[in-house]
Amino acid sequence: MRFSINPEMATQEVQPNETLTNLKAESDTLKTKLEDERAKLHDVELHQVAEKVDGLGQFIMKTRRTLKGHGNKVLCMDWCKDKRRIVSSSQDGKVIVWDAFTTNKEHAVTMPCTWVMACAYAPSGCAVACGGLDNKCSVYPLSLDKNENLAAKKKSVAMHTNYLSACSFTNSDMQILTSSGDGTCALWDVESGQLLQSFHGHAADVLCLDLAPSETGNTFVSGGCDKKANVWDMRSGQCIQSFETHESDINSVRYYPSGDAFASGSDDATCRLYDLRADREVAIYSKESIIFGASSVDFSLSGRLLFGGYNDYTINVWDVLKGTRVSILFGHENRVSTLRLSPDGTAFCSGSWDHTLRIWA
C-alpha cells in the first residue's frame, strides 16, 4: 500500500540547493521504493479471496473419442465453430479435418513441408489455415468434392523469416494473426496477402498467441522464448503490457473467458495466471511432482478449471481460483503438444506426439 512508504521520503521538501535534476532523482528513488512496497504488499492472493468459494467435487473426465490417422507427432489442433469438427496438423506435413463426433476424416491436405506447427479453423468452417517450417501461413478453402485436390486452391498469406509457430483467424475468414520463430507476430489480409500490422517486441522466438474475447477490444497476447508474455494493441502494433515472471519459454497463452486475465504454460513446469487490470501475475499453478514443461493450456467455460497438457504425457486439471490440482489425466503415450476447449465447453481435445488426438469430457 502506498501509505506505508518511508515517511522521510514523503515529507521531504525541496531543500536548498536542490535542482530539477535532484527532484528527478528523488522521484526515481520514490518510484523504486513504490515498486518495492508493491511487491512486498502483494495485496491479496487469488486463492485467499477464493477461500470462501465452494470446493469442486469429484470429476469423471474420460477419453470419449480417440482420433487415429496421423502418421507422426500431432503438433497442433483447432475447433470448428460447429462444436464438433476439428483440424489437426502433424510433423509429417499432413493436415486433417475430422468430424470428431463420428471420428470420420472429412478432408486431408499434405503440406509441402514437415513440422506443421500451426493450424486454425476459419470462423465460417469453410477453410483452414496452416504452416510451419515453410515459414508461411497458407489458407486452404475446403471442398465437398472428394476428388478435388485442396492444395490446388491454396492461398499463401503470411510470410515470415523463420518457422510459423501459431496462427489464428480474427473475427472473420478475411484476416489471420500469426506468430513466428523470427520473433514477430503479424496481422494479414487473407485475400491479398497484404501485411496489415506487425508486432515487434519479443527478443526471441514467439511460440504462441491468443486473441482477446471480442467484447473486450482489439488485443491479443503472445508468449515467447524470451520468457515474456506480451499484450498487443492490434490497431497500433504497440505492446501495451508485458509480463516476465516465467523462468523459461512460454509455450502457450490463453485468455480467461471474461478477457480480464490470461493463463500461460511454460517449460519451467508451471502455469500462471496474469490479471490485465492489476498488471501482474495473480496465481501460479505448480506442484513439486510436476517437473516437465506445460505445452498447452485452456480454460473451461466458466474459467474455473485450467487444463494443462504437459511434456510428461499427462494432462493436469487445476482449480484456477484455489490454485490446487483437482485431477490428473493419463492416456497419451507421449508428450501432449496441443490442447483446446470446444467452442461450447462440452469437451476439450488434446493432441500428442503419440500420433493421436483425444476428446475428453
Cβ closest to other proteins, residue 267 vs residue 298: 298
Q: Where are the beta strands (DSSP E) in 146-244?
A: 155-159, 164-169, 175-180, 184-189, 195-200, 206-211, 219-224, 229-233, 239-243
By CB under 8 A, the residues from 116 to 135 that bind other proteins are 124-126
Q: Which is nearer to other proteins, 196 or 284 (CB)?
A: 196
CB of residue 144 to other proteins, shortest distance in Å: 6
x/- track of binding to other proteins for residues 27-66 (CB under 8 A): xx-xx--xx------xxxxx--xx--x--x--x-x--xx-
Nearest to 314 by CA among 336, 293, 299, 295: 336
Phi then psi for residue 24, to 5 deg, are -65, -40
As measured in angstroms, the least distance from the Cβ of 168 to other proteins is: 13
The window from 149-157, 246-254, 287-295, 302-310 that contacts other proteins (CB under 8 A) reads 302-310
Residue (161 or 194) nearer to other proteins, CB? 194
Tell which one of 305, 306, 315, 329 touches other proteins (CB under 8 A): 305
**Residues ≥6 apart with Cβ < 8 Å to 102:** none
Would you call 127 helix, strand, or coil by DSSP?
strand
Q: How far is the CB of 94 from other proteins (least distance, A)?
A: 20
Nearest CA to 285 among 259, 314, 308? 308
Task: Tell me if 25 contacts other proteins by CB under 8 A.
Answer: no
User: Are 97 and 126 contacting, i.e. CB atoms less than 8 angstroms apart?
Assistant: no
324-343 positions binding other proteins, by CB under 8 A: none
Among 81, 105, 153, 287, binds other proteins (CB under 8 A): 81
The Cα–Cα gap between 44 and 313 comes to: 34
Contact with other proteins (CB under 8 A) among 96, 109, 142, 290:
142
Q: Cell numbers of 265, please?
A: 504454460
Rounded CA separation 95/77 (Å): 9
Question: Is 235 or 287 the residue whose CB approaches other proteins more closely?
Answer: 235
Kindly write out the interface string for residues 184-223 of this chain, putting x where it contacts other proteins by CB under 8 A and - elsewhere: -----xxxx-x-x----------------xxxx-x-----
AA letter at 343: P
Q: How many residues bind other proteins (CB under 8 A)?
A: 106
Taking the least distance from each CB to other proteins, the nearer of 154 and 304 is 304
Q: How big is the CA angle at 175 (ends 171 and 179), to the nearest 5 degrees?
A: 105
Shortest reach from residue 174's CB to other proteins, in Å: 5
Q: Which of 66, 68, 102, 328 binds other proteins (CB under 8 A)?
A: 102
Q: Which three cell numbers stand for residue 277?
A: 487490470
Which are the contacts of 312, defined by CB distance < 8 A and separation ≥ 6? 290, 291, 292, 335
Binding to other proteins (CB under 8 A) within 150-179 occurs at 170-172, 174-175
Name the minimum Å distance from CB 151 to other proteins: 17
For the chain, the residue count is 361
User: Are 86 and 356 within 8 A, CB to CB?
Assistant: no
228-267 positions binding other proteins, by CB under 8 A: 233, 235-236, 238, 240-242, 256-258, 260-261
